[in-house]
């Protein structure tokens, strides 16, 4: 039987790295004491009860029929208000499309902006799904390397050098997964000028906009002249512990929103009303309970970041890349004499700690491991002890 060429374009997302992740799960299932820090989700955490209760009430009220293709008016208004609070950019509800998670929002956007043969510029390191989602519609992903010594902040001159007559989109991710880098305002301003000069779209993946520690979050869409050519991607998954609910969005201009609505007719046909009601309860939060949980969670992540950096900052062979944001820490392991895959594989085998290899996120992250801050502080401290012990054993 024959399959379409798209099968080849979307496959192969860091298979080696995910092999280690799968083995960690297998070891845990077999009863071993494994600390799994390879995924971007805290398995011990649950969605705040007030959000769950809102979904239950919506189900009891019969909110389980078809919904508007790109979201209920109330939820779109709440997303517009949240976007303004985070970025300072005023947008109308009509500019917001509610999608089945940020990944669905990104995929849909790229299908509408880039044709077969077009080029999409992406700073490297990048989130592991970017190659597949860029190639799905036939476009090519052109990577721009980011220097680890510059904390993985992209150099706009390298983006300028990568622009060709085929370039249609610059895809940014700040705060960045996996590196935790935040692009300063001057860098974003330079990229904005390139987008305007060459008439390019900018897609800004800002899923981690809440998780900022040392530098303020700057949204490129809020810069002068960028609102019409920027698509901002957001999600409920991280800040509200709603990863499995699959609620994300894109914020752009009303014309693109109408196009996305047409695409949703063919692909999505709206997300469940009771799920949207739960997201609306989270964003409006009349009691303050949900917001208090969110604030406490973000403070805890900052403490976890500091804990890991303190524990691993002076280990021979390791170099910490201190993240300004996000829920991960990148550790340069090249000084141990091992490549990132071998280090991660042996760390799992010898110390039962599961991490992601940097190579899964692009060539610029090779030689690094990504350590998720997705466990309680005492568990992270134990993981750091095991990592330190393993690194010292290599000396």
Domain ranges of the chain: 6-46+290-393, 63-284
CATH topology of domain 63-284: 3.40.640
In a 13 Å sphere around the CA of 283, the CA atoms on its Cβ side amount to 25
pLDDT at 14 over 70: no
Q: What is the pLDDT confidence band of residue 17, given thresholds at 50, 70 and 90?
A: low
* Range 218-244 average pLDDT: 96
Q: What is the pLDDT confidence band of residue 395, given thresholds at 50, 70 and 90?
A: confident
Q: Are 91 and 230 in contact (CB under 8 A)?
A: no
3-state secondary structure string across 257-274: HHHHHHHHHHHCCCCCHH
7 vs 356, more confident: 356
Q: Give the Cα separation of 107 and 62 in Å (integer).
A: 31
**Residue-level pLDDT at 42:** 84
* Range 57-66 average pLDDT: 95
**Residue-level pLDDT at 18:** 77
* Range 17-24 average pLDDT: 83
Pairing of strands 368-372, 356-357: antiparallel
| Nearest Cα residue to 325 out of 123, 184, 221 | 184
Mean pLDDT of the chain: 94
- Percent of all residues in the chain with a pLDDT value above 70, rounded to a whole number: 98
**Residue-level pLDDT at 39:** 84
What is residue 288's three-state secondary structure? coil
Q: Give the Cα separation of 313 and 146 in Å (integer).
A: 22
| Nearest Cα residue to 12 out of 109, 128, 141, 104 | 128
| Nearest Cα residue to 125 out of 174, 83, 89, 76 | 174
Q: Give the Cα separation of 354 and 369 in Å (integer).
A: 10
Q: Give the Cα separation of 296 and 302 in Å (integer).
A: 10
- Cis omega before residue 378 (within 30°)? no
Q: Are 33 and 352 in contact (CB under 8 A)?
A: yes
- Sheet of 96-99: strand order equals 96-99, 248-251, 230-235, 201-205, 167-173, 119-124, 140-145
pLDDT at 56 over 70: yes
Q: Give the Cα separation of 54 and 107 in Å (integer).
A: 29
pLDDT at 13 over 70: no
What is residue 85's three-state secondary structure? helix
β-sheet bridge partners, residue 312: none
Q: What is the dihedral of CA 100, 101, 102, 108, to 10 degrees?
A: -20
- Sheet of 368-372: strand order equals 319-321, 328-332, 368-372, 356-357
Q: Give the Cα separation of 353 and 308 in Å (integer).
A: 14
Specify burial of residue 288 (Cβ count, 10 A radius: 0-12, 13-18, 19+): exposed
**Residue-level pLDDT at 40:** 82
- The two structure tokens encoding residue 162: 């990568």
* Range 342-365 average pLDDT: 95
Q: Under CATH, which architecture does the 6-46+290-393 domain have?
A: Alpha-Beta Complex (3.90)
- Taking CA atoms, 259 is separated from 39, 46, 96, 374, in Å, by 33, 35, 12, 37
């Amino acid at each position: 039987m024959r399959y379409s060429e798209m099968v080849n374009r979307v496959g192969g997302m860091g298979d080696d790295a995910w092999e280690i992740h799968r083995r960690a799960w297998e070891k845990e299932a077999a009863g071993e004491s494994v600390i799994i820090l390879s995924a971007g989700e805290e398995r011990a955490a649950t969605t705040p009860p007030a959000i769950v209760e809102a979904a239950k009430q919506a189900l009891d009220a019969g909110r389980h029929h078809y919904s508007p293709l790109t979201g209920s008016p109330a939820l779109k208004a709440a997303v517009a208000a949240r976007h303004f609070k985070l970025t300072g950019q005023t947008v109308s509800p009509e500019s917001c499309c509610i999608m089945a998670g940020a990944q669905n929002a990104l995929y849909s956007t790229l299908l509408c902006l880039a044709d077969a043969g077009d080029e999409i510029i992406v700073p490297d390191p990048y989130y592991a799904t970017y190659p597949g989602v860029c190639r799905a519609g036939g476009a090519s992903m052109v990577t721009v390397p980011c220097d680890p010594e510059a904390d993985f902040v992209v150099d706009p001159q390298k983006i300028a050098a990568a622009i060709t007559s085929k370039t249609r989109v610059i895809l940014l991710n700040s705060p960045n997964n996996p590196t935790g880098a935040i692009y300063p305002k001057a860098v974003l301003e330079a990229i904005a000028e390139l987008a305007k000069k060459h008439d390019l779209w900018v897609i800004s993946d800002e899923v981690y906009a809440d998780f900022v520690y040392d530098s303020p979050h700057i949204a490129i869409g809020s810069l002068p002249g960028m609102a019409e050519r920027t698509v901002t991607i957001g999600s409920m998954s991280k800040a509200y512990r709603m990863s499995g609910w699959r609620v994300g969005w894109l914020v752009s201009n009303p014309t693109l929103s109408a196009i996305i609505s047409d695409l949703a007719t063919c692909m999505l046909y709206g997300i469940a009303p009771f799920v949207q009601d739960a997201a609306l309860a989270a964003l409006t939060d009349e009691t303050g309970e949900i917001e208090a949980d969110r604030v406490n969670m973000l403070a805890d992540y900052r403490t976890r970041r500091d804990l890991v950096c303190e524990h691993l900052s002076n280990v021979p062979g390791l170099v910490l890349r201190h993240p300004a944001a996000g829920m991960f820490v990148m550790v340069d392991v090249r000084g141990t004499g091992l490549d990132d895959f071998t280090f991660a594989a042996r760390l799992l085998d010898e110390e039962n700690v599961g991490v992601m290899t940097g190579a899964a996120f692009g060539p610029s992250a090779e030689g690094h491991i990504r350590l998720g801050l997705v466990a309680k502080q005492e568990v992270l401290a134990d993981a750091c002890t095991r990592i330190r012990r393993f690194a010292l054993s290599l000396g």
